[in-house]
């Protein structure tokens, strides 16, 4: 979760990757920084900390999806808690994030 002076952006990337903030800033054209944990908890008050689902549109958030997810035939994501794992095909995930912007802003660990 990122924020700038105007609001928040949900960045979606694989759990095995690290975000490249400078690359994301360039692609968004915004001076974003990581949101504080308390901000995330307020925005996702129906989720446990650390279990945020990649469904920014459901929370009224702009969303950016890392291109590395395009290589994944299947996607697993948190379901709002640490016990629910949601499994979907890439096509289903693409449908879930159909209005999101896409870019390359992460690197594999």
Instruction: Read off the pLDDT of residues 35-72 as tens digits, 9 standing for 90 and up.
Output: 999 999 999 999 999 899 999 988 999 999 999 998 89
Question: Which pLDDT belongs to residue 2?
Answer: 79
pLDDT of 88: 96
Compute the radius of gyration of the chain from its Cα atoms: 13
Residue 5: what pLDDT?
75
* Partners of 76 in the β-ladder: 87
78-96 pLDDT per residue, tens: 999 999 999 999 999 999 9
Note the maximum CA span of the chain: 36
CATH architecture for the domain at 2-108: Alpha-Beta Complex (3.90)
**pLDDT, tens digit, 9 for 90 and up, residues 3-18:** 777 789 999 999 999 9
């Amino acid at each position: 979760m990122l924020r700038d002076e105007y609001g928040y952006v949900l960045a979606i990337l694989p759990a095995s990757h690290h975000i490249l903030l400078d690359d994301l800033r360039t692609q968004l054209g915004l001076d974003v920084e990581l949101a504080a944990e308390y901000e995330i908890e307020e925005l996702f008050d129906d989720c446990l900390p650390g279990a945020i689902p990649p469904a920014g549109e459901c929370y009224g958030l702009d969303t950016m999806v890392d291109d590395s997810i395009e290589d994944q035939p299947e996607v697993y994501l948190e379901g709002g808690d640490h016990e629910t794992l949601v499994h979907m095909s890439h096509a289903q995930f693409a449908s879930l994030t159909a209005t999101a912007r896409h870019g390359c802003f992460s690197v594999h660990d």
